[in-house]
């Protein structure tokens, strides 16, 4: 069974945590921070008078077997960047969800859920990078304006 992108977006909201959404006093920006698995996300809206700033935190784990600590850091950072870009794409374009259940003798035999996102992310900035105990966390920020989507 296939779900619409709107339903997928609503389902993904429950796995995100948003920060405070308020116009910034210095230029009409609306800030929305997504991270973690707590929930309580409020969807911002994009209008012609404001820019929308979306901040995500991507995480990547260093492999256990690497040639050097520098290689472990580089690989974990690359994974964290990919995770951050995916989160931005999910927020902007939505998530496609496809599910399939197999039932035999009125009992669930198998349940498969596949998610995917297809988007081009351009203009995201790395705001901060931390690496501790093999975990790299990258803070990415992207500023969206109404004119980018009105074309």
Answer whether residue 119 shows pLDDT above 60.
yes
- pLDDT, residue 43, reads 60
pLDDT band, residue 24 (cuts 50/70/90): very low
- pLDDT, residue 131, reads 95
Higher-scoring residue by pLDDT: 36, 142: 142
Number of H helices, E strands in the chain: 3, 7
Long-range contacts of 40-44 (CB under 8 A, 24+ apart): 41/13, 41/14, 41/16, 41/17, 42/18, 43/13
Answer whether residue 83 shows pLDDT above 80.
yes
Answer whether residue 7 shows pLDDT above 60.
no
| Cα separation, 121 vs 11, whole angstroms | 22
Instruction: Quote the pTM value.
Output: 0.66
Q: Which segments within 12-78 are labelled E, that is strand?
A: 17-18, 29-35, 51-61
pLDDT one-digit tens code per residue, 26-73? 455 555 555 444 545 556 666 677 788 889 999 999 999 999 999 999
Higher-scoring residue by pLDDT: 150, 5: 150
Residue 95 burial by CB count (10 A; 0-12/13-18/19+): exposed, middle or buried?
buried
pLDDT one-digit tens code per residue, 85-113? 999 999 888 899 999 999 999 999 999 99
């Amino acid at each position: 069974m296939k779900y619409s992108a709107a339903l997928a977006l609503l389902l993904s909201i429950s796995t995100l945590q948003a920060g405070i959404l308020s116009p910034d006093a210095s230029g009409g920006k609306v800030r929305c921070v997504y991270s973690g698995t707590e929930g309580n996300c409020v969807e911002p809206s994009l209008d012609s008078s404001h820019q929308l700033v979306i901040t995500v935190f991507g995480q990547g784990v260093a492999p256990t077997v690497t040639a050097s600590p520098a290689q472990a850091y580089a690989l974990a950072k690359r994974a964290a960047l990919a995770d951050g870009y995916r989160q931005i794409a999910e927020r902007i374009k939505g998530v496609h969800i496809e599910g399939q259940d197999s039932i035999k003798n009125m009992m669930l035999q198998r349940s498969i859920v596949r998610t995917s996102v297809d988007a081009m992310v351009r203009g995201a900035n790395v705001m901060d990078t931390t690496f501790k105990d093999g975990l790299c966390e990258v803070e990415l920020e992207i500023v969206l304006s109404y004119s980018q989507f009105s074309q």
